[in-house]
Each structure stands twice: as C-alpha cells, then as structure tokens.
Amino acid sequence: MTFSVLMGSGVPRVQAQTSATPGNHAEVIARGEYLARAGDCVACHTIPGASLFGGGRPMVTPFGTLYTPNVSSDKETGIGEWSADEFYRMLHEGKSRDGSVLYPAMPYASYTKVTRADSDAIYAYLQSTPPIHQPNRPHEMRFPYNQRKLLLGWRTLFFRQGEYKPDPAQSVEWNRGAYLVEGLGHCTMCHTAINALGGNSKSKEFQGGLIPVQDWYAPSLTSNKEAGLGDWSIDDIVGLLHAGVSNRGAVYGPMAEVVYDSFQYLSEDDVRAVAVYLKALPAHSGEVVTSTPDAAATEAKNNLSPLGQKIYDAQCALCHANSGQGKPPNFPPLANNQSIQMTSSVNPIRMVLNGGYAPGTIKNPTPYGMPPFAQLLSDVEIAAVVTYIRTAWGNHGTPVSVQEVNMLRSAPIF
C-alpha cells in the first residue's frame, strides 16, 4: 500500500490507495512539494535567507564540518542532470550519482523507507524549482573521517536498506504516522542519542539525545518525565506540531525550525497520524532527578539561588509570573515544566542565552518570544537564574555550573 496526498478545497488530504498514479505532471509536482515539506528538505539544503535548495549550509559535527549540497534544478551545480532512478538510489541506498557513499548526516537510514512513487514525486518537484548556480563546497572532515571507505563499516552497523512495510496489525492511521516519522520525518536523527561511531542505537530510539550539529538537546519522546507523550492528548500533540505552541508548551530551537519549514504545511490528517504513532511509542524511564540532591548540589543551589531569584524577579517574572506559572499559551509555565527539569540543562541555558520565538505559523502567525540575555547577563548570572528556575517552585532539576553556560555561549544559533 502507498499513500498519496490529494489536493482539494485548498487543503491537502491523505488517502490510502494501492497505486500512486497522479493524473498529470502538475499534480505530481504539487504532491512532491508536500512530501518535500514532510521530509523537511528546506532546513538542511537552504541557508536561512538564501536561495531555496541552493545548499551550502554548514553542519558542524564531532567528526568535522559537512556542507549540504545544492539540490536545485541547476544542471551544472545542482541535480538538474540527475535521473529519477539516480535520485531514488540516493534516497534508498545512500549513494550519490557517481556511486560514492554519502555521509549519514544525509538521513538515508530513514529515507530508505520512502516509496518509489513518493521519491519520484519529490524528484519532480525539485526539478521544477528555480535553478541556483552555486557550486558545492567540499566537506572539511578530520582524519580518518575524511576516508569515505570507512563508511562501509558504518553502514554495516547502522544501515538497513528497504522501503517501509505497513504493519497489518496496526491501523491505516498508525501506519501512515510510522511512515512519516520513521521515513520522511527522520525523527530518530535528533531524538535518539548518537554514539561514538556516529550511529543511532536501535535499543535507544526516541529516548532523547544531544544534537551535536546545533548543540541543543532533543528530549525523549518515550519518557513522561521528559517530552514523553503518554499523558498528552492527541489534540495536544497535533496542536503543538501544527501551530508550534499550545497550552502544554511551545517549540524552540531546532524543533521550531521543523514546525516552521515542515509540520505547519502538513494536513491535519497527517499530523494526527504522526501523533497517534508517537503516542503509541513504548514508555521508558525518565531522566528527571527526583532523588535527594547530594551535598555539592545543595551547596551550589544555595550559592546561586539568591542571585538567581533576584535576576528572575527583575527579568523573567513579568512574562512567566512570580511563581513560574506562566501565561499560556504565549508565555509557557516554568513551574512543573518537564523541559526545565531534565538531566540535561542545555535547552534552558540556551533559551536564556539566545532567546527565541515559537515559529510563526498559519495557526500562530504572531508568536510571542523571549529576548536573548547573552549580552546582558554574565555566565555567573545565567547559571544562577537557570539554577533558580530548575530548583524553585517544586522543580527537581539540578544546579547549573558556570562552565556549562560558558561552553554554550559560543554555540551556533542556526
């Protein structure tokens, strides 16, 4: 079974069918644009503010810096001369037109699940985009990671080629969600920790991890103590993914980009299918600290909290309220907020340093945001206020060190 998107009344509608045979080329291109949105192709292959699909966006990894390729229709520097077969081979096998193996920053371990019909539609859409003449920039990988032959070992360990096969024991809606999450959406790329070899452990899928490319933490989707969705309603999840903000919270950082470039354009049916699949993920233990803190943590909290409370009252209380209850949906609560209390303190530190807005979406066109404090507050002051937020009002987070703040001060914003 494959899935297609039918365009009617201005709203994409998902329908399951046994074959994908759009009536004309315009329909194929429209469907391909929708699927490219589902795959969030814009995010990697477009530098913010630059020409669409012109590539060149740097991806700083622990192994070196990768530069995304030009995938516009330009015949010399893009993929204008590629065939549909070559494009499908790239998605399905992770190999470029010349047969060279791609670095797995290109999520072909997920895209291999994309059907041939959907690959052909995305290909048709990309071929319809304006040609951008921009030569690809060579990667700057450290030795030995610049030796592509080493990728053969990586593929043996972490790559399993093959299109998505629906689970007959599950509903059509669940299978559609699984296809989008496991395939085009490549959600495990961020929400699964990357090991020393640059791979995702199957046993730890969706259990959260640091995103090395952007220095944000993608929380666990299986733990209710992090971002686990067990106690979220389907409507809560759909609202957050479609609008970027809800009474349960808001998306910032890389996830805001995903909602802005991808999820807001998907049909209500597709987003609901994603929510159904994610909510069905098996639960795992959480990472919120609920045990009694040790003496060192207590001392750190006692040293930082008074200063942190003073800064909070002066800079934060106006929006987030005196007791951290917030003013949802525009200003999320900080008290009893899962994302504030996780073992990883990366995200709250980065929010204070860099600020951020929930994405401007069709359902939330005028989002509220938070100003950056990197220029106003010192490392000590940011450590103090984040420590206060993580430990006040019954929150069970641990204190934040000045060193943690300093390390993230130079993290890339985009």
Residues 6+ apart with CB under 8 A from 172: 16
pLDDT at 414: 60
- Adjacent-strand bridge partners of 100: none
The answer, yes or no, to whether residue 98 has pLDDT greater than 50, is yes
pLDDT at 285: 55
- CATH class of the domain whose range is 295-409: mainly alpha
DSSP 266: S
Reported as a pLDDT band with limits 50, 70 and 90, residue 302 is low
Reported as a pLDDT band with limits 50, 70 and 90, residue 247 is confident
pLDDT at 298: 58
pLDDT at 300: 55
- CATH class of the domain whose range is 172-279: mainly alpha
C-alpha pair distances (Å), 205 with each of 12, 132, 191: 30, 37, 7
64-67 vs 140-141, strand pairing mode: antiparallel
Q: Could you give the dihedral angle defined by the CA atoms of residues 195, 198, 204 and 205, in that order, rounded to the nearest 10 degrees?
A: 160
Instruction: State mean pLDDT over 221-230.
Output: 71
Characterize 171-207 residue by residue with b for buried, 16 or more Cβ atoms within 10 angstroms of its Cβ, and e for exposed.
Answer: eebbbbbbbbbbbbbbbbbbbbbbeeebbbeeebbbb
Q: Which stretch, 161-170, 212-221, 322-331, has highest mean pLDDT?
A: 161-170
Within 13 A of 219's CA, how many CA atoms are on the CB side? 29
Tell me the pTM.
0.84
Instruction: State mean pLDDT over 149-173.
Output: 93
Q: Which has more pLDDT, 283 or 10?
A: 283
Three-class DSSP category at 180:
helix
pLDDT at 7: 33
Amino acid 22 reads P
11-17 vs 64-67, strand pairing mode: unpaired
The answer, yes or no, to whether residue 14 has pLDDT greater than 50, is no
pLDDT at 303: 60
413 burial via Cβ count (<10 Å: 0-12, 13-18, 19+):
middle
The answer, yes or no, to whether residue 296 has pLDDT greater than 60, is no
3-state helix, strand, coil in the chain (%, to 5): 40, 10, 50
Mean per-residue pLDDT of the chain: 86
pLDDT at 316: 95
Q: Any idea which of 48-52, 294-298, 309-313 has the lowest mean pLDDT?
A: 294-298
Reported as a pLDDT band with limits 50, 70 and 90, residue 405 is very high
Amino acid 409 reads R
The reply to whether domains 172-279 and 295-409 share a CATH topology is yes
Amino acid 348 reads P
pLDDT at 297: 56
The answer, yes or no, to whether residue 134 has pLDDT greater than 90, is yes
pLDDT at 380: 95
pLDDT at 216: 87
The answer, yes or no, to whether residue 329 has pLDDT greater than 60, is yes
The answer, yes or no, to whether residue 23 has pLDDT greater than 70, is no
User: Are 408 and 350 in contact, with CB atoms under 8 Å apart?
Assistant: yes
pLDDT at 201: 72
For residues 308 and 133, what is the distance between their CA atoms, to the nearest angstrom? 51
Instruction: State mean pLDDT over 68-82.
Output: 97
Q: Any idea which of 12-21, 141-150, 353-362 has the lowest mean pLDDT?
A: 12-21
Domain ranges, ordered by start, for the chain: 2-139, 172-279, 295-409
Q: Which has more pLDDT, 17 or 110?
A: 110
Query: Token digits for 326?
Result: 């917030």
The answer, yes or no, to whether residue 96 has pLDDT greater than 80, is yes
The answer, yes or no, to whether residue 101 has pLDDT greater than 60, is yes
Instruction: State mean pLDDT over 240-261.
Output: 88
Reported as a pLDDT band with limits 50, 70 and 90, residue 412 is confident
Percentage of the chain exceeding pLDDT 70: 88
Describe the crossing of helices 84-93 and 116-128 by its angle, rounded to 10 degrees: 120
Reported as a pLDDT band with limits 50, 70 and 90, residue 231 is confident
For residues 291 and 152, what is the distance between their CA atoms, to the nearest angstrom? 44
Q: Any idea which of 61-70, 164-173, 187-196, 267-276 has the lowest mean pLDDT?
A: 187-196
pLDDT at 55: 96
Sequential DSSP letters for 3-35? EEEEEETTEEEEEEES----SSHHHHHHHHHHH
pLDDT at 293: 56
